[in-house]
Amino acid sequence: MGGSVASVARRGQVMEVDFALVGHQDSWRAAADVLAVLRGPERTPLPDDEIKDILPWIPPRAVCHVEAGSIAGVKARGLYIDSFIPPDRLEAAYMHENIARVRGAAAYAIKAGAKIVSLGGFSSILIEGNFDQLPERHDTAFTTGNTLTVGFIVQGIKKMCALEGRNIRRSTLLIVGATGDVGSGCARCLAPIMKRVLLSARNVERLRRLAAELQADGVQVEIATDVQRFSAEADVVICAASLASPSLLLGRIAPDAIVCDAGYPKNLSPSAEMPGARVFFGGLGQITGGLRFAPDFHGILNRHPFPDVVHGCLLEGMALALEGRFEPFSQGRGYITQERVEKIETIAARHGIYLAPLYNANGPVEEGLYCQRECSRG
């Protein structure tokens, strides 16, 4: 980081702000937990209906300080800024209101003197194509964090294939939300090593453009707007659609298919029946050099069954801050390539930021696999 840290005066103290993480909660439970910490332990928790009334009126604001440690011995200091988008208002109907919230969170980060801002979850989706709506930026760079996210999704797929003894080169890949920034990045990284690639999204023109790009590199590609047409044919599925709630039903799916849900909020509906499928949550990394929140939001801002696990989009900003590279590493839709992914993975690994242990709604995946194998050996 050298001497290039920003500083901000607060309560008479000088606080250094290398990075800001802009986020929002994907469930009312998570939003209630954030509010409970902000209100303090001396106050009784608010009832659920009151939380739903209050949340839309809370302006974007920093909820805690974050300190990220590197295995290289440096530290970066930052802020977590919640845009307080209500979890049930991610739909297009609330787009203007939500853009205003992300804009407010961005203004907060700029005012705090953050050198780099990671736009987590829907924040980047809302602001992509609307970057001109961000406030005057001065020395603050913005990144969507999607390049490191793609890196962790791809690493997760490869790890899961290895754990399951699958030959990825003989497998068919389906990507739902294939034309998005995350989906198309995954397609560029994985298509060259898969037997066949199936792309799905709603807009057929964008699907055709991506298919033509991959076909030019010799990849066998098919497209469909109806995901159900493909689901039974895929051995590996990546769900990376920007859905406002977990509502995706894949329909009939191949037994033993490997399914990565990379959505935030999650893509897959809890009622999706996929007997035999190996599901894991993708795009997550672990920061092994240490992560501290003040006040303590551990397990609230990062609700995962392993310590110091964070979404790839937020880790990208922390990795760049630890590296002292305050630049818009990921910006715009459709520019993520294998080369860019390798570049950010190298930066992240230098600071001890790696793929998180795989897990799903039932808990750790690797332990489950281990247990299945040990149990079958008797």
Q: Which residues are near ligand NAP by CB under 6 A?
A: 121-122, 124-125, 146, 149, 176-183, 201-203, 206, 240-243, 262-264, 283, 311-313, 333
Report how far residue 215's alpha carbon sits from residue 211's, in angstroms, rounded to the nearest whole number.
Answer: 6
C-alpha span between 147 and 333 (Å, rounded): 11
Question: How far is residue 69's CA from residue 46's CA, in Å, rounded to a whole number?
Answer: 34
* Shortest distance, position 249 Cβ to ligand NAP, whole Å: 11
Closest approach, Cβ 250 to ligand NAP, in A, equals 11
Smaller CB distance to ligand NAP: residue 146 or 231? Answer: 146
Point out the residue whose Cβ comes nearest to ligand NAP.
180
Of residues 169, 125, 117, 118, the one with CA closest to residue 148: 118
Q: Using a CB cutoff of 8 Å and minimum separation of 24, what contacts does 126-130 make?
A: 126/95, 126/98, 126/99, 126/102, 127/99, 127/102, 127/103, 128/181, 128/332, 128/333, 129/333, 130/99
Closest distance of CB 321 from ligand NAP, Å: 17
Q: What is the DSSP letter of 334?
A: S
Q: Nearest distance from residue 239's CB to ligand NAP, in Å?
A: 8
3-state secondary structure 104-116: HHHHHHHHCCCCE
| Shortest CB 2 distance to ligand NAP, Å | 28
Nearer to ligand NAP, 141 or 182 (CB): 182
| Separation CA 216–CA 1 (nearest Å) | 41
Q: Please state the closest distance from residue 233 (CB atom) to ligand NAP, in A.
A: 17
Please give the backbone phi and psi of residue 351, each rounded to the nearest 5 degrees, phi first.
-105, 15
87 or 263: CB nearest ligand NAP: 263
Give the residue with the Cβ less far from ligand NAP, 60 or 120. Answer: 120
Task: Pick the closer one to ligand NAP by CB: 140 or 179.
Answer: 179
Residue with Cβ nearer ligand NAP (242 or 360): 242
